[in-house]
Structure 1
Amino acid sequence: MRTFSKVFILSFICFLLAISIGSYSYVKEKDIKLETNIDSPIKEQFDLSKRIVEKLETKPKEPEIYSTLKEALEKSNRINFLVMGLEDVRTDTIIFASFCPDTKKVDLVNIPRDTYIHRVGYNTAEQRKINSIYGDHGIAGVRKTASYILDNVPIHHYVILNYEGVEKIVDGLGGVEVDVPFHMKYKDPTGKPPLEINILPGKQILDGKKSLEFLRFRKGNQNKGGYMDGDLGRIKAQQEFMSSFIGKATDNLLTVITKGFNHVKTDINLVDSLSYGRKAIGMGKEDFEMTTLPGKPEFRKISKKTLSYFIYDKKETTKLLEKIYNVK
């Protein structure tokens, strides 16, 4: 079973870790071992950092208004992240996260892994998808490509989180409530480890294991069942999952940090992390806006092989960025 966006939730956790009050970078630089016991020294360090930063907390204010996107990209103080989840050498999840320090709001734009992109010299059908770029060009290549798709918007940092810690993080939060749209059933005994998904429909609290299964599910065996609009339907379901998760995660950053710490890779340094954390203090679930890159799925024949691609709409993408950057 293909695992498109199975680490969608973890990419967001990684973003939270990156902008949390500097605790991640602090313990990383000091080589402090994180403990799951809330009475451990790390809790005291976390609380101390939190109290210090709260004294420096900034208040939300009206954002600057720009007349063109070009002007906005040159003058805006927005901080842009590319959050990624990896499946071997492919980017299974790519999210553009734009944080506005003025309004304390974050815009999350999911870039589908099947997004069509043509690289000179890479002409097979599989190489025309954005998820193949990491294996050939690494993080730098993905950043450059994402920036190109998004009207050359600057990407200041990257964050990567593997999916090994998702069960512990969700379990540590006491599970996540979602409304499962239909019976999700799938079995793959050949997987490593073997995969068996069986989630009944309806509103329920999913533990870590079931959460992973919910995020991974695309369609049943023999292509029976699944989302009517394929992977785009799954992205919508995952965004609903994220919305529920955010409400718990923002109130339990210590749990997120202690459970997810060892699964993070980022280029954000201590100074930047402290700065971003200060500006992010006070954010809640309502401060996150989630959307998907504008476009539509389309079958194309490349090198005698027909595959489904996501064809992004350049004009609508520009409009989306103008909205994000407050261009009037």
Structure 2
Amino acid sequence: MWMIPGQNQSWVSEFILLGFSSDPTTNSILFTVFLLIYLSAVMGNGLIIMLVCMDTQLHMPMYFFLCILSLLDMCYVTTTMPQMLVHLLADSQTIPFAGCWLQMYVFEALGITECTFFVVMAYDRYVAICHPLHYTVILNWELCIWLASGSCVCGFLSALLNTFFTMRLPYCGPNKVNHHFCEGPAVRSLACMDTHLIEMVDQILSVLMVLTPISLIVASYVHIAKAILKIKSTQARCKAFSTCASHLTVVTFFYGPASYIYMRPNSSYSPERDKKISLFTALLNPMVYSLRNKDIKRAFLKVIGQGKVDC
């Protein structure tokens, strides 16, 4: 800590991340588990990006958006995991104040970007199912780039305001964050002032950032369901549904934990529960899309030289 000039009060210059355990044996086990999770997430998402870039048959809006989602997931997990792995084996679990600010900002920005981007992917499915003959005309490459860029701008601008106010709070000790990374509520709980108003505003914004995308996604799938029910062929109906199943699965597993963590009252906030919940989404996405999508499997088998996949 350092002293504020002209005042008899210390100011936090670094935070200590408590992580999951203080037992060296437990930390060694956790290091192995989380290292495998991190490598699986990076390699799984990296494989999807590579396949989409290499296979010209995947050069369409749906897989362009999937490629962007995989890139977001890689960045998302890399924001917290490498530092957590180092802290599991290191004697010191400190992070500088500026490093904490940057980690909090990037984590929130990527999270909000994904929230927005799932709406874009739902719109892609809506156009593909409800307007199949005009799919490439409506979702031209210029619009796809604008939608992807707009999601990123929305995420990074929205996170900037929230992170700015959090890190402008006075932190004069203690400096132990009960989390494995600098998460907003966990850091704010250490502020040397009443943060009730900030927490209330943050919760309102969090609810809006979760409910608004969910509402738009639900609206898209209501139209999609109506369109699918009008299809007379059972085989065509199943095929139409299967193109949406992967997206629905990932959306459910993303918004489920997000709703639990950020939409409940601040009085029920529990870092012990929350820090165990937010680890696996980035690993889930490539598993869902690679296992359920025949085009991804075909592209993978083509790359490794085993020809086409029968699905």
- Comparing both structures, which one devotes a greater share of its residues to strand? 1
Higher relative contact order (CA 8 A, sep 6+): 1
- Comparing both structures, which one devotes a greater share of its residues to helix? 2
**Greater Rg by CA:** 2
Q: Please state which band the TM-score falls in when normalised by the shorter chain.
A: under 0.3
Instruction: Tell me the TM-score normalised to structure 2 length.
Output: 0.23
